[in-house]
């Protein structure tokens, strides 16, 4: 790895005069950021703009929990100017590789002051638009440190993105204020931080890890709760099989299921439409309002 890098530096040294002769060759001076999954990559792109090249280690359509790495991924982690990970074991293979690299790595959960016990209980902080603004603050600081000359541009872009997130928070607050129900039943327990922010309660069929097997006793318990509270909708999600949520919906007497996105990645359809965090969260808000009977 080290030898490969030395060779790359030598090559770059040799090639510089040629590249300079061809044109501005701005690509060579772009800061490279490697994010471990979608929300961090989007924030880095929004804040960095053109001078920053952002990669995402979680491939499209793949669920990021416990992602395994390829050899190319490991090389990319070693070579990036800045690596962004959520931390606290959300993606252990990526976090281990990031620990071994020489360059800086930003662990977002720690950087925004989430205690380890809270992070282990629920790592999905990005689904709370207020905490997402703290994520933006931390990435802004790290980008400025990586390329201080662009401080003003990064700060302006970060402020613009934060204000979009603040409007989103306002829309959630207003839209979920007056509802018939406050119980949210989801396939995988990803919406704890969002629920806390807007005074909802979440019950997940599976746990924090979407691959964990649901327990029949848990399904029976939830079927009772759902009936008692008049729940109309069981939420499933796009990157995980809806089987479990469908089983509960059936057992609870034919409730509807609806897809709520935990924003762990975008579907092909969302990407084709050019949707990002704010657009998908806005769609989530509409579905929540319908399911909870909000006015
Ligand atoms: Zn998750």
Residue 210: the pLDDT is 60
Mean local confidence (pLDDT), 83-96: 97
Interval between CA 226 and ligand 1 midpoint (Å): 22
Mean local confidence (pLDDT), 20-24: 42
Contacts 24+ apart (CB under 8 A), 111-117: 111/138, 112/137, 112/138, 114/88, 116/88
CA atoms within 13 A on the CB side of 97: 26
Stretch among 16-20, 83-87, 96-100, 214-218 having the lowest mean pLDDT: 16-20
Mean local confidence (pLDDT), 109-137: 96
- Residues 54, 38: Cα–Cα separation, whole Å: 11
pLDDT digits (tens, 9 = 90+) for 246-284: 888 998 888 999 999 999 999 889 999 999 999 999 999
Interval between CA 27 and ligand 1 midpoint (Å): 34
- Residues 215, 211: Cα–Cα separation, whole Å: 12
Interval between CA 111 and ligand 1 midpoint (Å): 19
Interval between CA 262 and ligand 1 midpoint (Å): 7
* Strands of the 256-259 sheet, one edge to the other: 201-204, 183-186, 233-236, 256-259
Residue 283: the pLDDT is 97
Give the confidence band of 212 by pLDDT, cuts at 50, 70, 90. low
Q: Which residue do the tokens 């993105």 mark? A: 161
For residue 136, give both structure tokens.
């933006």
- Residues 41, 59: Cα–Cα separation, whole Å: 12
Interval between CA 7 and ligand 1 midpoint (Å): 39
Interval between CA 66 and ligand 1 midpoint (Å): 10
Interval between CA 247 and ligand 1 midpoint (Å): 20
Interval between CA 287 and ligand 1 midpoint (Å): 19
User: Residue 58: is its pLDDT beyond 50?
Assistant: yes
Interval between CA 90 and ligand 1 midpoint (Å): 8
Residue 209: the pLDDT is 63
Mean local confidence (pLDDT), 157-172: 98
Residue 217: the pLDDT is 86
């Amino acid at each position: 790895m080290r030898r490969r890098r030395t060779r790359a530096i030598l090559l770059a040294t040799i090639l510089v005069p040629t590249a300079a002769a061809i044109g501005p060759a701005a690509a060579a001076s772009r800061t490279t950021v490697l994010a471990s999954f979608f929300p961090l990559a989007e924030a880095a792109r929004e804040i960095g703009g053109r001078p920053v090249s952002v990669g995402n280690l979680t491939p499209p359509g793949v669920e990021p929990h416990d992602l395994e790495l390829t050899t190319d991924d490991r090389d990319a982690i070693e070579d990036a100017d800045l690596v962004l990970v959520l931390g606290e074991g959300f993606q252990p293979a990526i976090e281990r590789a990031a620990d071994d690299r020489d360059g800086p790595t930003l662990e977002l959960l720690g950087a925004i002051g989430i205690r380890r016990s809270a992070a282990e209980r629920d790592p999905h902080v990005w689904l709370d638009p207020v905490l997402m603004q703290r994520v933006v603050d931390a990435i802004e600081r790290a980008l400025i440190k990586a390329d201080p000359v662009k401080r003003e541009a990064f700060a302006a872009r970060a402020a613009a993105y934060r204000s979009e997130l603040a409007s989103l928070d306002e829309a959630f607050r207003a839209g979920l204020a007056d509802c018939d129900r406050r119980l949210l039943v989801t396939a995988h327990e990803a919406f704890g931080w969002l629920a806390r922010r807007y005074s909802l309660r979440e019950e997940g069929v599976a746990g924090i890890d979407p691959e964990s097997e649901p327990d029949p006793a848990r399904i029976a318990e939830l079927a009772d709760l759902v009936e008692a509270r008049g729940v109309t909708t069981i939420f499933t999600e796009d990157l995980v099989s809806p089987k479990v949520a469908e089983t509960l919906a059936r057992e609870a007497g034919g409730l509807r299921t609806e897809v709520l996105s935990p924003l762990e990645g975008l579907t092909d359809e969302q990407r084709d439409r050019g949707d990002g965090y704010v657009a998908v969260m806005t769609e989530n808000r509409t579905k929540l309002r319908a399911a909870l009977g909000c006015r």
